[in-house]
Amino acid sequence: MKSKISIQNLNLSIGKNQILKNINLDIPENQVTIILGPSGCGKTTLLKCLNRLIDLEENVTITGSIFLDNEDILHTKSDLPGIRKKMGLLSQRPYPLPMNIYDNIAYGLRINGIHNKHIIRESVEHNLKQVNLWDEVQHRLKEPASRLSIGQQQRLCLARGLAVKPEIILADEPTSALDPLSSTAIEKKFVELKEEYTLVMVTHILRQARRIADYVVFMYLGEIVEHGTADEFFNHPKQEQTKAYLEGIFN
Amino acid sequence: MFLGIILAMPVLLIVGLLFKSESVLHANSLSDLLFSTEWKPFQGKFGFYSYIYSSVLVTMLALLISVPICLFAAIYLTQYAKSVYLKVIQPVIDILAGIPSIIFGVWGILVIVPLISHYVAPFFGIETAGYSILAGAVVLSVMIIPFILNILLEIFKSISKELPQASIALGATKWQTIKYVILRKAFPGIVSSVVFGMSRAFGETIAVLMVVGNVAQIPKTIFEPGYPLPALIANNYGEMLSIPNYDSALMFASLILLVIVLLFNLAARMLISRYETKI
Ligand SMILES: Nc1ncnc2c1ncn2[C@@H]1O[C@H](COP(=O)(O)OP(=O)(O)O)[C@@H](O)[C@H]1O
Ligand SMILES: [Mg+2]
Provide the percentage of residues in chain B whose pLDDT is more than 70.
Answer: 100
Per-residue pLDDT band for B4 (boundaries 50, 70, 90) equals: confident
Overall average pLDDT of the A58-67 stretch: 95
**Domain range for A32:** 1-81+205-251
Residue A222 lies in a domain: yes
Ligand 1 pocket residue status of A166, Cβ below 6 Å: no
Predicted TM-score (pTM) of the model is 0.91
Q: pLDDT tens digit string along B166-175?
A: 999 999 999 9
- Does A249 have pLDDT greater than 90? no
**How many residues does this entry show for chain A?**
251
Tell me which residue has its CA closest to atom 24 in ligand 1: A40
Residue A40 lies in a domain: yes
Nearest to A104 by CA among A158, A184, A53: A158
Overall average pLDDT of the B235-241 stretch: 81
- Longest CA pairwise span in chain A (Å): 56
Structural domains of chain B, with CATH? 21-278 (1.10.3720.10)
CATH number of the domain residue A38 falls in: 3.40.50.300
Provide the percentage of residues in chain A whose pLDDT is more than 70.
Answer: 99
Number of domains in chain A: 1
Per-residue pLDDT band for A136 (boundaries 50, 70, 90) equals: very high
Amino acid identity of A11?
A: N
- The span from the CA of B234 to the CA of B204, in Å, is 11
Amino acid identity of B249?
A: A
Residue A221 lies in a domain: yes
Q: pLDDT tens digit string along B17-45?
A: 999 999 999 888 999 999 999 999 889 89
Residue B157's pLDDT is what? 95
Per-residue pLDDT band for B3 (boundaries 50, 70, 90) equals: confident
Residue B277's pLDDT is what? 84
Per-residue pLDDT band for B276 (boundaries 50, 70, 90) equals: confident
The angle, 0 to 180 degrees and rounded to 10, between the axes of the packed helices B183-203 and B246-276 is: 180
Instruction: For chain B, give the mean pLDDT.
Output: 93
Contact between B184 and A161 using a beta-carbon 8 Å cutoff: no
A58 touches B: beta carbon within 8 Å: yes
Residue A161's pLDDT is what? 95
Residue A147 lies in a domain: no
Instruction: For chain A, give the mean pLDDT.
Output: 94
Which residue blocks in chain B are alpha helix, DSSP H? 2-27, 30-35, 49-75, 83-98, 101-107, 113-115, 121-123, 133-158, 162-169, 174-177, 183-203, 206-211, 229-236, 246-276
- Does A251 have pLDDT greater than 60? no
Could you say which of A58, A97, A144 has the minimum Cβ distance to residue B166? Answer: A97
Could you say which of B82, B166, B276 has the minimum Cβ distance to residue A95? Answer: B166
Q: pLDDT tens digit string along B137-159?
A: 999 999 999 999 999 999 999 99
Per-residue pLDDT band for B179 (boundaries 50, 70, 90) equals: very high
Residue B2's pLDDT is what? 82
Residue B144's pLDDT is what? 96
Residue A187 lies in a domain: no
Could you say which of B161, B171, B181 has the minimum Cβ distance to residue A97? Answer: B181
Q: pLDDT tens digit string along B252-275?
A: 999 999 999 999 999 999 999 998
Residue A74 lies in a domain: yes
Overall average pLDDT of the A115-126 stretch: 96
Residue in B closest to A87 by C-alpha: B169
Residue A20 lies in a domain: yes
ipTM passes above 0.90: yes
Residue B1's pLDDT is what? 79
Per-residue pLDDT band for A75 (boundaries 50, 70, 90) equals: confident
Q: CA–CA distance from B116 to each of B65, B128, B140, B208, B214 (Å)?
A: 15, 8, 15, 15, 16
- The span from the CA of A45 to the CA of A31, in Å, is 21
Residue A189's pLDDT is what? 92
| Dist. CA B72 → ligand 2 center (Å) | 32
3-state DSSP call for residue B224? Answer: coil
Residue B279's pLDDT is what? 79
- The span from the CA of B14 to the CA of A128, in Å, is 53
Residues 6+ apart with CB under 8 A from A91: A157, A172, A174, B162, B165, B166
Per-residue pLDDT band for A84 (boundaries 50, 70, 90) equals: very high
Restricting to A residues 151-180, those with a Cβ less than 8 Å away from any Cβ of B are 157, 160-161, 164
Per-residue pLDDT band for A187 (boundaries 50, 70, 90) equals: very high
Residue B242's pLDDT is what? 81
More confident call, A75 vs A250: A75
- The span from the CA of B261 to the CA of A193, in Å, is 56
Contact between A111 and B176 using a beta-carbon 8 Å cutoff: yes
Ligand 1 pocket residue status of A44, Cβ below 6 Å: yes
Contact between A107 and B166 using a beta-carbon 8 Å cutoff: no
Q: Count interface pairs A-B at CB distance under 8 A.
A: 80
Residue A250's pLDDT is what? 61
Residue A231 lies in a domain: yes
